């Protein structure tokens, strides 16, 4: 439940809606309940006095032998009548008698509710004698309010049953006392079956509306999150649909504009550097021609070597800035097969590369760019450590391509600097031993274009280079994990990547 509350917008929206519903119902109940109770008591009290007046007039107009039958015919589920020859003095004793009379069945009563299994008036809650005497034990007889009792007959009034019951004793003209008892308990609250059913139906309707509204909000957000993740991985995406409410529509428009600006920035940078590289070829060619006229052979060779180095650095910088991997289409590949083929190729060139096979992993990437990054790291491990061990490891959020060596490693203060373009730890300027210093820069650019990064860690001894990629695609575990050593083979010509 807590997981869905934290992760689901629909759950939070429904939860807050239902909470508002319950709070509003509770506040309405607290505000209205007291007034409702007073209104019901006033209505029942007025009805009681009106019925007592009607029965009194009836008794005064009827002969004594017929009074008993008339009283039985006047009784209801909540009221009883009886005659007594003497005036009731003790209020507590009268309350006990009233409780007994209220439990007496009504003659000629037809219980349709019981026949159809419904709650009827015959199911009314009755008092026991002890409850009737104890609830209002401190209260005695009182004169009825003149506004409610206007007949000339002498009468007195009493409460019982915690003010849910009313009683009157009325002296008729012949000296006989007419006793009237009425009891109807007001419900403890609105939380009965009907109100709870109504609240449940309202909550269900609000929940369905909440799910619909939350889905309309969350669907564009999920689409935006997927597109942003894919854009961060360098994929070419179609524009998001610019539809829905104004807030969501403006968000989609802003994302589409940002995507266009990013692509335009990359394209402009590529065209600019390509133009610079093209324009540099002319002065470099001119310098090479002039170097040919230098008579001192040593000076001539140094000049030509410097021009060649400048030409190589220019071509490498243009290749790095162009970012050819960004134009490559993203597709699903077997990651283990790609890493294994790279190690096979290097082993065929006579380089000591150890590849540890792991579970087969299907991963969406740009294979050529990822191949170039892994090959650069592996070649560096062989060049500076004499041996490379490559394997793939999995975590809850990443897929890591690990390249380990046993070389001297890299000082901690230099682990970030080595990723700078044209930076070389190797002191000489020999491209055969150190390249032009773009290998790690290209590898990090490729990793970040996939939404990941490269980290350098000590291997004790040596260095561990990790290409950390975000989890994506279906991961299939193979039945066994094996390790094989790529033995050195006779070298053969192959294209070297830097």
Residue pair 345/357 in contact (Cβ under 8 Å)? The answer is no
The total of other beta-carbon atoms located within 10 Å of residue 286's CB is: 10
Distance, CA of 243 to CA of 92 (rounded, Å): 77
CB-based contacts of 256-261 (< 8 A; 24+ apart in sequence): 259/231
Q: At what angle do helices 297-322 and 246-292 cross, to 10 degrees?
A: 170
Tell me what pLDDT residue 189 has.
54
Tell me what pLDDT residue 83 has.
94
Tell me what pLDDT residue 178 has.
95
Secondary structure element (H or E) that encloses residue 358, with its range: none
Task: For 55-65, write each residue's pLDDT tens digit.
Answer: 999 999 989 88
Report yes or no on whether pTM surpasses 0.85. no
Q: What are phi and psi of 258, to 5 degrees?
A: -60, -40
Residue pair 177/84 in contact (Cβ under 8 Å)? The answer is yes
Tell me what pLDDT residue 497 has.
38
Distance, CA of 217 to CA of 213 (rounded, Å): 6
Tell me what pLDDT residue 21 has.
81
Tell me what pLDDT residue 81 has.
94
CA distances from 73 to 11, 62, 70 (A): 59, 14, 5
Distance, CA of 463 to CA of 71 (rounded, Å): 107
Distance, CA of 363 to CA of 352 (rounded, Å): 27
Tell me what pLDDT residue 316 has.
67
Domains of the chain and any CATH numbers = 2-107+121-190 (no CATH), 329-486 (3.30.565.10)
Residue 325 burial (CB < 10 Å; 0-12/13-18/19+)?
buried
Distance, CA of 348 to CA of 491 (rounded, Å): 6
Task: Give average pLDDT by consecutive 10-residue segment, the chain, 498 residues.
Answer: 62 80 78 75 89 93 90 89 92 89 78 52 54 76 90 92 88 93 74 73 83 80 80 74 80 86 76 73 82 84 82 69 59 88 89 88 85 90 88 88 88 82 60 61 83 87 89 48 37 36
* Alpha-carbon Rg for the chain in angstroms: 48
């Amino acid at each position: 439940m807590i997981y869905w509350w934290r992760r689901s917008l629909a759950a939070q929206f429904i939860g807050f809606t239902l909470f508002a519903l319950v709070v509003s119902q509770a506040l309405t109940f607290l505000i209205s309940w007291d007034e409702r109770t007073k209104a019901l008591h006033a209505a029942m009290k007025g009805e009681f006095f009106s019925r007592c007046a009607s029965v009194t007039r009836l008794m005064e107009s009827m002969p004594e032998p017929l009074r008993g039958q008339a009283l039985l015919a006047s009784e209801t589920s909540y009221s009883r009548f009886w005659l007594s020859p003497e005036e009731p003095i003790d209020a507590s004793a009268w309350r006990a008698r009233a409780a007994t009379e209220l439990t007496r069945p009504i003659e000629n009563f037809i219980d349709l509710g019981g026949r159809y299994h419904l709650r009827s008036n015959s199911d009314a809650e009755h008092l026991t004698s002890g409850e009737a005497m104890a609830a209002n034990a401190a209260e005695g007889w009182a004169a009825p309010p003149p506004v409610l009792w206007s007949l000339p007959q002498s009468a007195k009034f009493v409460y019982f049953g915690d003010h849910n019951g009313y009683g009157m004793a009325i002296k008729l003209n012949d000296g006989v006392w007419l006793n009237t008892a009425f009891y109807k308990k007001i419900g403890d609250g609105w939380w009965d079956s009907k109100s709870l059913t109504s609240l449940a139906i309202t909550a269900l309707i609000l929940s369905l509306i909440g799910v619909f509204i939350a889905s309309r909000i969350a669907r564009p957000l999920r689409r935006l999150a997927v597109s942003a993740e894919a854009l961060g991985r360098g994929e070419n995406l179609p524009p998001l649909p610019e539809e829905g409410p104004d807030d969501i529509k403006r968000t989609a428009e802003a994302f589409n504009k940002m995507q266009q600006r990013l692509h335009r920035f990359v394209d402009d940078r590529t065209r600019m550097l390509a133009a610079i590289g093209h324009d540099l070829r002319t002065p470099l060619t001119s310098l090479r021609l002039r170097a040919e006229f230098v008579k001192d052979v040593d000076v001539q060779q140094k000049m030509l070597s410097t021009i060649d180095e400048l030409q190589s650095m220019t071509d490498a910088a243009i290749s790095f800035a162009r970012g050819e991997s960004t134009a490559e289409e993203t597709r699903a590949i077997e990651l283990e097969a790609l890493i294994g083929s790279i190690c096979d190729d290097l082993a065929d060139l006579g380089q000591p590369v150890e590849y540890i096979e792991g579970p087969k992993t299907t991963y969406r990437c740009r294979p050529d760019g990822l191949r170039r990054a892994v090959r650069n790291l592996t070649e560096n491990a062989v060049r500076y450590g004499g041996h490379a061990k490559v394997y793939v490891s999995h975590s809850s959020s990443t897929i890591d391509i690990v390249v380990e060596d046993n070389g001297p490693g890299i000082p901690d203060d230099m682990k970030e600097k080595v990723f700078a373009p044209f930076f070389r730890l190797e002191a000489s300027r020999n491209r055969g031993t150190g390249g032009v210093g773009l290998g790690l820069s290209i590898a990090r650019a490729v990793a970040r274009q996939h939404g990941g990064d490269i980290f350098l860690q000590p291997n004790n001894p040596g260095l561990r280079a990790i290409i950390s990629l975000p989890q994506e695609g279906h991961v299939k575990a193979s039945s066994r994990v094996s390790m094989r050593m790529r033995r050195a083979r006779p070298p053969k010509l192959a294209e070297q990547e830097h």
